[in-house]
Amino acid sequence: MKYLTLILTVFFVMSCKEKQEVPKPTEMVKDKFIFATWTNPGGVFNKEKWETKLASYDTLGISEVLVGGSPDFYRQLIPIAEKRNIKIHAWMWTLNRPNDTTANKHPEWYAVNRKGKNSLEYRAYVDYYQWLSPFHPEARDYIKNNVKELAKIKGLASIHLDYVRYVDVILGADLQPKYGLVQNTEMPEYDYGYHPIAREGFKAIFGKDPLDLAHPELSTEWRQYRLNAITSLVNELVDIAHKHEQKMSAAVFPFPEMSRQMVRQAWNDWNLDSAFPMVYNNFYRENVNWIGFAIEQGVKDVEFPIYAGLYSPALTNPKDLEKAIRLVKEKGAKGFSFFTADNLSDEQKSVFIKLKEEFKNE
């Protein structure tokens, strides 16, 4: 009964037309176009290694670093970064929790696809795809506790959510051949959100089990119901962060309408402080102009600032890289984050340095 109550609450709250008003902290750095990067922690914390890495970032104009790690890792890194006026974001894998020893003990926490297999048993596309369900209250509590631990860390620029969505029901056009797929329909093994709790809650409202529909993937009510579960979770995580005077950002798919279709992610309904749309144009076989188009859609759809996520292998040509950075600035992004600045070519570095000097006087 408690599960049903939770699902009904999620549905009705998130179905309201007006979003909850949440006080929003100020932007990360006011009136400055931000250069940022995602990076990996690199194993055991090594102070000298990080001092060298941060010095390299500094020369490129990078002033924000999004990195995963433990609370102890951040407490060691933040003081070093502060000496160079570099801000650290705690990059957190949210619903995709590969090899999570706590979650692995609870198979019932995992997302379920239309064929009835959960994400611990059937790992779509790659082995590290092990997704928790946003409908299971204990899985939600576990994620909230992860945020609470990060929220205690002083000096973070934000808690940065990633993989806060469902499994990709449709992969980018360039990725499908790598898995021997042609996804011109929503295939049941990649269509997630069918946890028994989700089905129970949907049936309580609409009088039907989504699996009894001839084409559940075409039901707008069922899609919105699943979108609402992610949105309510994110907004609860935002509330936790804000209560601890922390900001909340998220890595998201390129623009809201595309995100809804591909991964059931309605990020324009989220109460974020900022978003980092991953406009990886090569994944979709698109040109550099598409990056500007995608950013423009997001800027129009949300009130919080957007920082474009750019993909290094797609922008090896320095002319393309410079064009992409100028485009996202022109279309209203407040900066960009590169995945990743750790393996830039000399030609790519020269673009960073050139634009760093140009933009600093604006």
Q: What is the pLDDT of residues 191-247, one digit of tens each?
A: 999 999 999 999 999 999 999 999 999 999 999 999 999 999 999 999 999 999 999
Share of the chain above pLDDT 70, in %: 91
Beta pairing class for 248-252 and 274-277: parallel
pLDDT for res 176 = 97
Mean pLDDT of 266-271: 98
pLDDT for res 111 = 98
Q: Which pair of tokens denotes residue 336?
A: 């960009």
Q: Which residues of 142-171 are buried (b: 16+ CB within 10 A; e: fewer)?
A: bbeebbeebbebeebbbbbbbbbbbbbbbb
pLDDT band per the 50, 70, 90 thresholds, residue 362:
confident
* pLDDT at position 19 over 60: no
Mean pLDDT, rounded, of the chain = 93
Mean pLDDT of 243-263: 97
Q: Are 335 and 64 in contact (CB under 8 A)?
A: yes
* pLDDT at position 64 over 70: yes
pLDDT for res 23 = 42
Mean pLDDT of 146-154: 98
pLDDT band per the 50, 70, 90 thresholds, residue 14:
very low
What length is written for the chain? 362
Q: Are 111 and 167 in contact (CB under 8 A)?
A: yes
pLDDT for res 361 = 81
Pick from 295, 293, 292, 345: nearest CA to 315: 345
Share of the chain above pLDDT 90, in %: 90
* pLDDT at position 8 over 50: no
User: Residue 306, Cβ neighbours under 10 Å: how many?
Assistant: 27
pLDDT for res 156 = 98
Query: pLDDT tens across 119-135, in order?
Result: 999 999 999 999 999 99
pLDDT band per the 50, 70, 90 thresholds, residue 360:
confident
* pLDDT at position 6 over 70: no
Q: Which helix (H) or strand (E) holds 343?
A: none
pLDDT band per the 50, 70, 90 thresholds, residue 20:
very low
Q: Which pair of tokens denotes residue 174?
A: 């360039």
Mean pLDDT of 346-362: 94
pLDDT for res 17 = 40
* pLDDT at position 101 over 70: yes
Q: Which one has a higher pLDDT value, 286 or 32?
A: 286
pLDDT for res 278 = 98
Facing residues of 91 across strands?
160
Distant-in-sequence, close-in-space partners of 118: CB < 8 Å, separation ≥ 6: 107, 110, 111, 112
Q: What's the DSSP call for residue 340? A: T
Distant-in-sequence, close-in-space partners of 42: CB < 8 Å, separation ≥ 6: 49
Pick from 229, 282, 202: nearest CA to 94: 229
